[in-house]
Amino acid sequence: MTIMRTITFMLSIFIVGMVELVVAGIMNLMSADLNVSEAWIGQLVTIYAFTFALTGPILVKLTSRYSPKVVLLSAIVFFVIGNLMIALSPNFVILIIGRIISSAAAALIVVKILAVTVVLSRPEHRGKMLGIVYTGFSGSNVFGVPIGTLIGDWLGWRFTFGMIIAVGVLAGVLLAVYLPKQLTTHHEEPVTSTKQPLHHKREIFKLLSITFIVLTANSAAYIYINPLILSGDHTIQFVSLALLVIGIAGMLGTSMGGYLTDRLSPKKWLLISVSCFIAIMLILNQLWSTSIWLLLFLFIWHIIQWSTNPAIQSGLIDQAQGDHSHVMSWNMSALNAGIGFGALLGGIIVSHISLFATLYIASLLGVMALVIVISLKSPKTHRHSA
């Protein structure tokens, strides 16, 4: 896959990730302007996650007969329209409608980008390329959200979405230029084929379950990272430093996970990464009052967590031929459902048990995921050439 295509795909994933998370940084500005409580503005993240999870598989099914290029460019158009509605919204109702449109379009963009990445990559490099492209999402945490927050503080929150629209248009232009109209495998099989043979449905279900459980565990703990860090008598400035470290770890984790998946195998890397996740969840509650050790373990936590997705995606690819969009859409739905459910679970744990119990519950969920990983069977078929 060429450098420009890789950059184009990363930029597309970057802007989708940014639009999901930037609300947290401009929540107070949106609340004051629209005269809506911050609690309601915060639900925009939940709306995004669940809309993404629910509409992804449906839209992939409905668009499977069309060229990936046509689908991606159409999705970019709706993504821009949705965010334009948000930027110009006179009230909260219009904002929600725009949010639903943009998140549904985002689901299609992510799934198709990842599926096209698979097709345009050599079989032995698929895990690495998926990790590199998906780095755009973790990069949106490090760069996109802070930039969007700064623009909101300087010019107003509507200009933040104006920037998102501009980058979305740029991504659309790059896709139009660098994405081939007709994508084929090495054997000249059209990617647009709707035939989707699944070798091991049970294994696919296991992999999707791992995605859901790991993201639920991670979200339940991470959603309260701010009060957890502050519980150790740290300053707000230290929290900002920790979040920067976490963001950098996420970028490294996606690339590292893809590389190690190719070097080992999806199952072997999942065994290692999920085991490390469990251990880190058990250790962290002893480190909140430290500084260097806390930053180190937060760094390792997020490298490990972000590294699981390329492994799961590669495992899913081994189970399907032709258009991989369907299994990709199921995985992204499981991922976003896990994020949404984890946030709800974390709230229940904090309300009825304690703040620190979120990490112990996360470790228990990690054990559940590890049991499923152990039960995974290696595919009997080899990856097809791309």
211's tokens: 């995605």
C-alpha triplet 351, 357, 360: angle, nearest 5°: 145
State the pTM of this model: 0.75
Range 72-96 average pLDDT: 96
Would you place residue 183 in the very low, low, confident or very high pLDDT band (cuts 50, 70, 90)? low
Say yes or no to pLDDT of 190 above 60.
no
Q: Which of 215-219, 220-224, 295-299 has the lowest mean pLDDT?
A: 220-224
The total of other beta-carbon atoms located within 10 Å of residue 298's CB is 22
Distance from the Cα of residue 309 to its chain's centroid: 9
Computed over every residue of the chain, the mean pLDDT equals: 85
Neighbours of 91 (CB within 10 A): 10
The predicted pLDDT at position 189 comes to 43
What whole-number percentage of the chain has pLDDT above 70? 91
Q: For residues 13-50, b (16+ Cβ closer than 10 Å) or e, as one string?
A: bbbbbbbbbbbebbbebbbeebeeeeeebeebbebbbb
Q: What is the tens place of the pLDDT at every residue in 325-378?
A: 677 778 888 888 888 788 788 888 888 899 899 999 999 999 999 999 999 987
138-173 pLDDT, tens digit per residue, is 788 777 877 887 898 899 999 999 999 999 999 999
Q: Helix or strand or coil: residue 169? A: helix
Looking from the CA of 284 toward its CB, the CA atoms found within 13 Å total: 30
Q: pLDDT tens, 222-248?
A: 878 878 888 898 887 788 788 788 888
Pairwise CA distance, residues 159 & 174, whole Å = 23
CA-wise closest residue to 172 among 66, 84, 79, 67: 79
